Structure 1
Amino acid sequence: MQKIVEVLADREALIDRSLAVVLSKITAAIAERGICTVAAAGGSTPEPLYRALSTQDLPWDKIHVFWGDERYVPPEHPDSNQKMARLAWLDRVNIPASNIHPMPTGAADPAADAEAYQTELQQFFKVSEGEFPAIDIILLGIGDDAHTASLFPGTAALQVRDTLVTVGSKDGQPRITFTVPLINKARCVIFMVAGASKQPALAQIFAPAADSTTYPARLVQPEGELWWLLDAAAGVAVK
């Protein structure tokens, strides 16, 4: 694993740097393999990145967008990660509908929808049962509790190692989420973190030793590159 930690002056600089890194990874992936696969994150921090991406002249037919996690709500719901990414980004660019791969949430059964998404990933990446595909770019954030994707402290989803997708839980509400081994197979994981409220979590994530079931973002140790892009308010914790 190659780990890169950068502390940027402010949120605007964080977005500018995130855009530059993502664009470089997209370009490299398409040059090497003909396509680029991206797993989008939810939350407020990446939304301006998505808006910035929507202004770029990219070969959208060669870019496939997935999601690393999703709240178990309909796609038109205000809390939907898919809805946020579509409004800020995907609805604004000429990307084929078949290149957008949202997590399903309509079966009234989170486990069934998680399994359906796993099947879609296996078929798209042409991997067998038990194999984990290498996604080019996985975008992640962290919560004040050090969760990432929908891998929350002390939840069963943290322990899942035999599937690509599982059911997460926050305050009893189901989520669908990538599993730790799927995230860790990525060619590039990019954490975008902003705000002073993230300092306590970051201090534990970056500590030489801490409990990864209490601070789940510690579990993210990808085979490829690991980028931590932080604004100055958050970055105090890692200096």
Structure 2
Amino acid sequence: MNRQVEVLADVNAIVARSLALILERAHQAIAERGQFTIALAGGSTPKPLYEAIAQQPLPWEQVHVFWGDERYVPPTHSDSNEGMARRAWLDHVPMPATNIHPMPTQAADPAIAAQQYDQELRDVFQVQPGEFPALDVVLLGMGDDGHTASLFPHTDALAVRDRLITVGNKDGQPRLTFTAPFINHARSVFFLVAGANKQTALAHVFSETANDEDYPARMIRPQGELWWLLDEAAGVKQGV
């Protein structure tokens, strides 16, 4: 596995490093394939990154934005990953509305919404059932329980292998999430992890012997490159 681990001074350093890496891959993707595709993460750590991306002179008509997971709330809700990304980035750049692909959260049944987003992705990337498209960049965080996206320990979502999107579960609350196989088809996966409370989970994720069901971030083993960008508080005990 092509895993790169960098321990940086603080969240600002994570933002600067991830911004440089993402811009490099964006320009390369546009030069080679005519578009750049990126899946966003929620949480507080990526927000300043999105604000920084909004300041870049990218060819926005060639950028497509997706979400790796979403709480099952309207985009106007304060917990919405879509809403955060729009306020920090997407509302400030001339990106065509058709290039923004939020997860639907309006259906009464989250399973129906998962099927809808799965089909939208297949239509965008023109892939058939059973096939997985390759996003250029997938951004991920990690909780102190070792979850990533909405792939939580010992939940049904971890076993889904034949779909792009499934329903995650956080303390009985449904969420939509990329499946692990879909994430693993990405060309580049970036984990942005900050905080001393992540040290224990990181130790298990990097361990040779821990269990994927216990620490789902271990399941992310992409065919492309894998970057772990840690602040010193998270990475101090990781031996990297």
Under TM normalisation by the shorter chain, which class is it? over 0.9
Aligned-CA RMSD value: 0.6
Moved over 4 A (4+): none
Unaligned ranges ≥5, structure 1: none
Shift of 1:237: 3.1
Q: Cα deviation per residue 1:167-221 (whole Å; 9 max; x = unaligned)?
A: 0000000000000100000000000001111101101000111010010000000
- Structure 2, unaligned stretches of length 5 or more? none
- d(CA) in 2 for partners of 1:111 and 1:210? 30
Partner of 1:237, secondary structure, is: coil
Residues 21-60 of structure 1: pairs in structure 2 closer than 5 A: 21-60=21-60
Q: Deviations over 1:105-147 (max 9, x none)?
A: 0011100000000000000000001000000000000001000
Is 2:179 aligned against 1:145?
A: no
Q: Secondary structure at the residue paired with 1:5?
A: strand
State the partner residue of 1:223: 223
Equivalent-residue separation in structure 1 for 2:4 and 2:191 (angstroms):
10
Secondary structure of 1:150's aligned partner: coil
Counterpart for residue 8 of structure 2:
8
TM-score normalised to structure 2 length: 0.99
Match of 1:192 in 2: 192
For the residue of structure 2 that corresponds to 1:58, the secondary structure is coil
1:215 counterpart letter in structure 2: Y
What is the aligned partner in structure 2 of residue 172 from structure 1? 172
What are the residue-to-residue correspondences of 1:55-74 with 2, within 5 Å? 55-74=55-74
Q: Tell me which amino acid in the other structure corresponds to 1:12.
A: N
8 Å contact kept, 1:202–1:237: no
What TM-score do you get using the length of structure 1 for normalisation? Answer: 0.99
Distance 1:27 1:142 in 2: 27
Q: Identity of aligned pairs, percent?
A: 64
Classify the secondary structure of the residue corresponding to 2:51. Answer: helix
Residue 133, structure 1, aligned to residue 133, structure 2: yes
The letter for the 2-side match of 1:203 is A
Q: Aligned equivalents of 1:23 and 1:6: distance in 2? A: 18
